[in-house]
Amino acid sequence: MSVIRTDIAIIGAGMAGASLAAMIGDRARIVLIEREAQPGYHSTGRSAAFWQESYGGPQVQPLTTASGPLLKAEGVLHPRGTIHVADADGERALESLAAELAGGGIDFTVLDRAALEAAVPGIRPAFRRGIGEPSCRDIDVAMLHARFLARARAAGTTLLVDAPLDGVERVGGGWRLATRAGEVRADVVVNAAGAWASAVAAMAGAMPTLVQPFRRTIVQLAVDPPTVPDLPLVMDARGRFYFKPEAGGRLWLSPHDETPVDPHDVAPEELDVAVAIDRLEQAVEWRVVKRERAWAGLRSFAPDRAPIYGFDPHAPGFFWCAGQGGFGIQTAPAGAMLAAALLLRQPPPEPVSAIDAARYAPDRVYRAG
Ligand SMILES: Cc1cc2nc3c(=O)[nH]c(=O)nc-3n(C[C@H](O)[C@H](O)[C@H](O)COP(=O)(O)OP(=O)(O)OC[C@H]3O[C@@H](n4cnc5c(N)ncnc54)[C@H](O)[C@@H]3O)c2cc1C
């Protein structure tokens, strides 16, 4: 097999790797290395597919907010709106959320019981108050991911699929990468390996334990009455569930689970599905008619739950684009723009120029221990 020589090798062709390749493909030679036959098979293909400005809190919001107009320009956003709901035990969480939304300049409305019932017909009387976050949107994730990949390829990026990275070795001033599809020589390695980010870092001699994957479950249900298409995304203020409508009157429901696991091709646990349905039945008066399918994916976080963009302070030529947690779709365009500027050592362009890149730098994670 011949050796491929390139400027930058990006490990992982999920949303993180694809968006970054799309941003820099015309400014450097890129090889995108993907283990699976189908890029997007892991977290990217398993998301709940929404853009919600408050999701992830103040440290994620700058990336989400900056991504909003960019996603809109891609034509991948569709109106949804969120209603955060609270029972008596959730009142305090709802108040903190209102303060956070106000602090972040995010448009919101406070809903009394009557307004809540009108927005979510069938919500049980225990839920007395809510907060509407109307700017929330659904994202067409498959289209966005396909666009980024197509843009990268059009700019000359080579996509290697079925190409698990087996080893990374520092050779001279660059890297030798052993993949099942052949050897790649690169000046810079980008770690966009999602749940495997720590494993890839370990191979390269960078700090291996920065990123921890957590399992998150979604179940698709047929419910009675069927959901209406304009039902908002409904989020429990205490973080016990969220649900949103799906085509054909169906419902996507998550128990908002967050179970630490080793990176793998994750499947849903029966218990998490049962917990989700139980929490739904405590929240609304609808009847669950059928459990149609369930899936799980991995959301991978640094300890402080902010993404990691930047060169590793200890492994020269090793760049982090990882730890996007539960927000890697809604932050993708701005995250990739910021990462591209850091990677190419150029000033960040206007949509992200006001973002403090230091809060996403790998060394802040090292310093925190
Ligand atoms: C249930 C669920 C719901 C979510 N909902 C939302 C949402 O509504 N909105 C939102 O913004 N985000 C959401 N997320 C988060 C979002 O899906 C992730 O942040 C995002 O997909 C991460 O993208 P990624 O490219 O880092 O990871 P991935 O898509 O997992 O891509 C990483 C790629 O690296 C490859 N790889 C790993 N190791 C190697 C190796 N050694 N060699 C070669 N290739 C390798 C993998 O095969 C994989 O394809 C959700 C996640 C889950 C699980």
Same domain, 216 and 296: yes
330 CB near ligand 1 (under 6 Å): yes
Percent of residues, the chain, with pLDDT higher than 90: 97
- Whether the pTM exceeds 0.95: the reply is yes
Q: What stretches of the chain show up as alpha helix (H) in DSSP?
A: 15-24, 61-74, 91-103, 113-119, 141-154, 197-204, 270-283, 332-343, 362-368
| Residue 60 falls inside a structural domain | no
In this structure, what CATH number is given to the domain that contains residue 99? 3.30.9.10
Give the domain-ending residue among 301, 326, 351.
301
Q: Which amino acid is at 91?
A: E
Mean pLDDT of 16-21: 98
pLDDT, tens digit, for every residue of 210-249? Answer: 899 999 999 999 999 999 999 999 999 999 999 999 999 9
Indicate if 338 and 284 belong to the same structural domain: no
259 in any annotated domain: yes
Other C-beta atoms lying within 10 Å of the C-beta of residue 41: 16
Q: Report pLDDT for 369.
A: 67
130 Cα–ligand 1 center, Å: 31
Same domain, 234 and 126: yes
User: Angle of helix 15-24 relative to helix 332-343, nearest 10 degrees?
Assistant: 50
pLDDT band of residue 1 (cuts 50, 70, 90) is low
- Both 243 and 285 in one domain: the answer is yes
CATH number of the domain that residue 337 is part of? 3.50.50.60
| % of the chain with per-residue pLDDT over 70 | 99
Ligand 1 binding pocket includes 33 (Cβ within 6 Å): yes
The answer, yes or no, to whether any atom of ligand 1 lies below 6 A from the CB of 323, is no
Atom of ligand 1 minimally distant from the CA of 51: 9
Taking only the tens place, the pLDDT of each residue in 343-353 is 999 999 999 99
Residue 63 lies in a domain: no
Average pLDDT, the chain: 97
Does residue 207 surpass a pLDDT of 90?
A: no
At residue 77, the 3 state secondary structure works out as: strand
> 108 is in which domain, residue-wise?
82-134+212-301
Instruction: Give the H or E element holding residue 50.
Output: strand 50-51
155: pLDDT confidence band, cut at 50, 70 and 90? very high
- Let me know: does 304 contact 366? Beta carbons within 8 Å: no
Task: Quickly state the pLDDT bin for 2 (edges 50, 70, 90).
Answer: confident
Locate the ligand 1 atom nearest the alpha carbon of residue 16 and give its number: 25
Cβ of 41 below 6 Å from ligand 1: yes
Contact predicate 355/334, CB 8 Å = yes
Domain tally, the chain: 2
CB 74 within 8 A of CB 145: no
Task: For ligand 1, say whether the CB of 47 is within 6 Å of any of its atoms.
Answer: yes
CB distance 197 to 191 below 8 Å: yes
Q: Whose CA is nearest to atom 37 of ligand 1?
A: 193
> Of 171, 266, 177, whose CA–CA distance to 217 is shortest?
266
pLDDT, tens digit, 9 for 90 and up, residues 92-150: 999 999 999 999 999 999 999 999 999 999 999 999 999 999 999 999 999 999 999 99
∠ CA 58-63-65, nearest 5°, is: 80
Of 244, 270, 301, at which residue does a domain stop? Answer: 301
